[in-house]
Amino acid sequence: QVQLVESGGGLVQPGGSLRLSCAASGSIFSMNGMGWYRQAPGKERELVATITSGNVTNYADSVKGRFTISRDNAKNTVDLQMNLLKPEDTAVYYCNAYRMQTNWLFRNDYWGQGTQVTVSS
């Protein structure tokens, strides 16, 4: 059973920075990819950033140039460095891990409990 635990959320002012961390109970190397998603009140969950086992990254257009995702296989952690935060970044941020099924058509997803990020003056 893979368990993901997020930490590092909090209240920051616009333009500030925050670093989120996701700790996995199992080896993240066994996963095809890891990522961060977020969900604001009244909105659907959306992709923020992903990173594959080969360190290929992908970012939502809204966070490009401001957020950086990274992983530490030895520590089984995935971090999200968030800079130049904006009020619209306010959301619950969820850690995600996925592993492709053998047929490569579907995947198994695992989720953390989420951590609140609030950007407000």
Tokens 């058509």, residue? 105
Contact 38, 46 (CB under 8 A): yes
- pLDDT tens per residue across span 22-37: 999 988 878 899 999 9
Cα–Cα dist 112/12, whole Å: 22
Among residues 80, 92, 95, 107, the alpha carbon closest in space to that of 24 is found at 95
CB atoms within 10 A of CB 62: 12
Q: Is the pLDDT of residue 1 over 80?
A: no
Tens of pLDDT, residues 76-99: 999 999 999 999 999 999 999 999
